[in-house]
Structures are given as C-alpha cells and as structure tokens.
Amino acid sequence: MSVATNSLAAARGAGRTLDHLLERPRTVLATLAAAQMAATLVLALRVEHNGWVYFQGGDQIWFTTTGWLLGGLQLAPTEASYLLPLVQAPITWLTGPTYVQLLPALVVLNVLVLGPIALLCVYGIAARIGGRLLGYWAALLWVIAPYAAIPLFVERYHEKWTEQFLPQATGLTAMADYPSMVVVLAAAFFVTRSLSPQRVPDAVLAGLLLGAAGGLKPPNLLLGFGAALAYPMARRWREVFAFGAAAAVGLLMLAFWKQRTLGALPVLALQEVRLAAGATPAAFDFNLDKYVQLDLDHWRLQMDQLREFFFSPRLAQWAPLAGLLAVLRVRRGAIAGLLAGWLGAFIIVKGFNENADIQANTFWRLLMPAWPAYLLLLASIPLLVPRLFRRLGPRLTPPADHSVRARWVVLALVLAILLPAAATAASSRVAPPTPAIVPATPSGEILTPVDTSIAVTAERVGTGLRLSWRAGPWRAKVFYRVFRGTNPDGDLSCTTSNSVTWVCRYYAESVGTTRDHTFIVADPSPGATYRIGVGTNWANDPNLGDIFAFSPPVRAPR
C-alpha cells in the first residue's frame, strides 16, 4: 500500500472522528470543563499559598467588609461597586465578616460555576465566527493558555506569573477581577447572539449583563465600545437601542449605589467655592482624567518590559491583528468590530494607565476583562491558512440557535437591578462608631471590619500589661498585630463623606506582632486604647499583607 493511500485513509479517518465530535458538543465541552477544573486544582495545590489564601491585591478586604455591612442592611462610604458585596452579603451571615472566612465559598463559586460559564461563552463566540470546530479550538486554548504561557516568560518572571497572577486568573481569590472577566465575557456572548435577526431579547440580556459587569467594576463598561461598533456594522438598529436601554438601567443602578454610599458620583468632582459673603454653591467638574490617562511614554515602557520578560513581544503584539484579519476574512465583520472595540478600549484606558505595570505585575490583572477578546482573536488565526476555510466547508458554519427566552431576561433584571436596588434602598447609613473602620496607614486606607468575636481582655502584670484574646477559626495561618491608641477621647476620628455617610478612621501605633493569643506590653500607657488586628497573606509572612479584621477596643487599666 502506497504512502499516498495511507495518508488518504488517515485523513478520511480523522475527518470521520472530527465529524463525530462536532455532533457531540455537550460531551466535548463537559470534558474541557472537567479538564479546566482539574488544572485549577493542580495549580491550587502547587503554587505557594496559606490555607485558602493565595496572592491577592488588597481590595478583597474592602469588598467583603462592604458585603458584610450590606448583609446587615448598612451602608458605609466605599469605592467598591455593589454586585460583589451583594453576592457576599448572605454568605457572611454564615461565615462572619472577613474575606478569609468567606474564601472557600467564593473559590467554589468561581471554579465550579463561573469557570464553566466562561468556557461556554468562549466556545459560543468562537462558534459564531467559525462553527463548532473553531469553538472547540478556542475552548481548548482557554483551558491551556494560562499554563502554556509559563515557559514563554523568562525564568525570573515565573514567580510573578504563576504565584501572583494565575491564582487571580483562575478564580482562587476574593478579588472582583475574575468575576468581572466572566460577566464581561457573558455580555459579549449575548451581543454576538443578538447580531442575528430578531434577537431583541438577547440584546436586552447583553445590556443587563454589561450593567452587572459595571456593578462589579465600572471599567468593565468599556465593553460597550465593542458593542457600539458591532451593532451598526450588522445593521441591528432595534437591538442596539435595546442593548443601550438595558445598559443605561445598569448605569442608573450604579449611580444610585454611589450616591447612597458616597453622597456623590466619583466621576464628578464636587468642589465647594466659598464666596466672601459666606455662600457655598457646589460646582461640579467632570473628572475624566481620574479614569483615562493616555500616557504614551508609560505604554512604551510596558512594551519594553514585555520585551524583557517575554520570548517574543512582536508575536504578542501582532497576534490580535492577525486574528482580526482572519475574522474579517470569514465575513464576520460585526464580531470583528466587537472584539476590536472590546480589546482596544481596555488597552487604551487601562493599558496606558500608570497603574498597569508589567514589572509590578499589575498589567495582566487590570486587563483581565479583555483577555477573552485577545484569546478569541488568537484562536481565529488558523482561518488565515489558504484554502482551509473552503476545505472545511460546512464544519465552519455557525450552529443554529433561537432567541433567548423572556424568563432569563426577567431573571437577569431581578438579580442585576431590582434586588441590588431594593437592598440599597432598604439599607441605612451607619452611625459612629461604625462597625467597620479605616486604618490611617501609609500603605492605603482599607475599610476593615470590627469583629466582635475577637474578645480582648487587659490586665496588669507587674509593670507591664498583658493582653489576651480569643479569635478564629480562620481559613489560614494568621498573625496578630497589637495596636495602641493614645488619644484620651478614643482611637477613632469619625467624619462624614460629603455630609452623607459616616467613616471612622483609626489612628494607632503598632507595638508588636505575635502568633500567640497573648501579648505583654512592656511600657503600657495608662488609659490607652488597645486593639488586636488579625492579618494573613499567601506567604504566611507577618511582614506582608494587610490586617483583615480588628477587635473591639479595650482600655488599659489606670
């Protein structure tokens, strides 16, 4: 038998196998979802961690504290948006007020629920570009890309990628970045569905999901630039108005939350102009520079750092452009507009911002909501192979589907808009002394809960003072930092935010750190106020990490 005959028989066998798989998308996607969970489990066991605590950025404390207060129908001044605290609120009823106690539930939700949803959305968008075959390929890349990228970085960068970024990119943290990426991806998926005729319900659902993404983190709304390109290119005018109206409802919910918690919208800088007569009219200034910093020099620096740490920066830079040409080549212009606007908006607004730094390892996290667009463009590059599109023929035809049912739109409206609005309206602003305080520290002011389960006692021991406390159990190894406030009026200074919401700042000095439940203060100040701060971090290092809970105050005996 000739080589040509064997090759032809192998090709026909491969084609039959491929057709067999194309007829069973549920089996293929279930297998990929299981592989994704298994890979996340292996990562969770191998990278450095402390119990359930992996590397996190610090915002997780603020989100969980806000959710704990919201669970008690209380509002505090917070820069955090509403959706993640709302999800966490009922969980805190069972776990307590700290993110460490909440982590198991959040990680399970991310890995077992949001992870498969993200996989299905990647498959769904890719399938509308090049059929189920491209959908399988994109879904496979989605599973393996985070790990396949490891050897593409120089060895000295591996720790930052594997220990610091991958846990956030796979949902092992309490940060809002991973849920943001999934909800943005889901919104993009329903945008692609609504590009077909008679898909107004899909467009409404896409708009509601975009509003929910903004309720996680306002920069997620940048996906709207991609939708603004896609709908006109597809000439879907009813759908674009339905999408815009639904997204506007989400914006109103976000504005309502900010107004209730801060007393003003952060995008508007409230300035008091005090006149000689004593009047104080309020002048609003649109503070766009706070969110958009088109620093071209900073972007060039990031590309230099990419060249330093990545094996081929040119490949990383040109891959999405090649993928965009491939999507256009198969005549999916509207989807190309969606992906280009989606990725481009995030690169311009977040990538050019000084906070996005490859060396400091913040670049990847800040652009996480746009990585699905990058991956989808990367996955589309094989469509540029000459004659491949014609040879695969019907295998690249998008699968048929139907418009989303109205009950899913109603469910999204209730969960993303009506329930948050009701919870926000029913909640009252906390009064001083607040159950969550903001330590005035150089490292940053983070809203931190006062956990009444941390019971502290103080007693004289010779010339010293012995502090004893009980706390826990925690989901990680922790350390205890002893703080002392010497102000005779107490250790808190409470003021209002825009004369609306009370915030109590905590002023104290650290007098020591221990892992025990007792501490001897050798030089106690009579009448001073003491608190115990509980801290942890992924490396179990007392010199790192933020305090995630404070005890109630205890006064030293005079």
Question: What DSSP letter does each residue of 505-547 carry, written as one string?
Answer: EE--EEEEEESSSEEEESSPPTT-EEEEEEE--TT--TTSS-E
pLDDT at position 280 is 36
The pLDDT assigned to 285 comes to: 46
Cα–Cα distances in Å, from 335 out to 191, 237, 338, 446?
A: 9, 16, 5, 40
Q: At what angle do helices 115-148 and 371-379 cross, to 10 degrees?
A: 70
Of residues 472, 374, 429, the one with CA closest to residue 78: 429
Q: What is the pLDDT of residue 422?
A: 96
Number of H helices, E strands in the chain: 20, 16
Q: Encoding tokens for residue 55?
A: 């590397």
Q: Which residue has the higher pLDDT, 119 or 444?
A: 119
Residue whose structure tokens are 């990058």: 374
Helix (H, G, I), strand (E, B) or coil at 455: strand
* Structural domains in the chain plus CATH codes: 8-46+102-255+293-391 (no CATH), 436-555 (2.60.40.10)
**Matching residue, tokens 């995630």:** 548
Total length of the chain? 558
pLDDT at 227 over 80: yes
Q: What is the DSSP letter of 75?
A: E
Q: Cα(201)–Cα(327) distance, rounded to whole angstroms?
A: 25
Rounded CA separation 159/425 (Å): 45
pLDDT in tens, 509-547: 999 999 999 999 988 888 889 999 999 999 999 988 789
pLDDT value at residue 76? 83
* Mean local confidence (pLDDT), 300-319: 92
Q: Is 103 left (phi over 0), alpha (psi -120 to 50) or beta?
A: alpha
Identify the pLDDT of residue 532: 95
What residues contact residue 552 under an 8 Å CB cut-off, 6+ apart? 450, 452, 454, 456, 531
* Cβ proximity of 227 and 341 under 8 Å: yes
Confidence of residue 272 (pLDDT cuts 50, 70, 90): very low
Q: Looking at residue 21, what is its pLDDT?
A: 72
Q: Is the pLDDT of residue 185 over 50?
A: yes
Q: Which residues of 361-390 are buried (b: 16+ CB within 10 A; e: fewer)?
A: bbbbbbbbbbbbbbbbbbbbbbbeeeeebe
For residues 530 and 444, which has the higher predicted lDDT (pLDDT)? 530
Task: Give the lowest-confidence range in 303-312, 404-413, 494-503.
Answer: 494-503
Upstream peptide bond of 442 is cis (omega within 30 degrees of 0):
no
Q: Exposed, middle or buried by CB within 10 Å (0-12, 13-18, 19+), for 468?
A: middle
pLDDT for 543: 87
Mind listing the pLDDT tens digit for each residue in 23-40?
788 999 999 999 999 999
d(CA 130, CA 391): 13
Q: Per-residue pLDDT averaged across 221-242, rounded?
A: 96
Cα atoms in the Cβ-side hemisphere of radius 13 Å centred on 556 = 28
- Is-contact 505 438, C-beta < 8 A? yes
- Residues with Cβ within 8 Å of residue 523, at least 6 apart in sequence: 464
Could you tell me the pTM of the whole model?
A: 0.90
Using CA atoms, how far apart are residues 39 and 534, in angstroms rounded to an integer? Answer: 32
* pLDDT, average across residues 55-69: 90
pLDDT interval class at 432 (50, 70, 90) = confident
Q: Judge contact between 480 and 495, C-beta under 8 A.
A: no
The amino acid that residue 224 corresponds to is G
- pLDDT over 90 (residue 390): no
**How many whole angstroms separate alpha carbon 231 and alpha carbon 235?**
6
Q: How many CA atoms lie within 13 A of 458 on its CB side?
A: 23
Q: Which tens digits make up the pLDDT trace of 125-149? A: 999 999 899 999 999 999 999 999 9
- The CA distance from 64 to 86, in Å, is 9
Peptide bond into 433 cis (omega under 30): yes
Return the residue matching tokens 């930092």: 481
> pLDDT at position 294, please?
76
| 508-533 CB burial, b ≥16 within 10 A, e <16 | beebeeeeeeebebeebeeebbbbbb
Please give, one letter per residue, the 3-state secondary structure of 261-282: HHCCCCCEEEEECCCCCCCCCE
Lowest mean pLDDT among 307-321, 344-358, 391-405: 391-405
Each residue of 285-298: pLDDT tens digit? 445 555 677 778 99
| Chain mean pLDDT for the chain | 88
What residues contact 432, with CB distance under 8 A and at least 6 apart?
492, 494, 502, 504
Give the pLDDT score at 3.
53
Question: Span 156-181, mean pLDDT?
Answer: 94
Radius of gyration of the chain (CA): 26
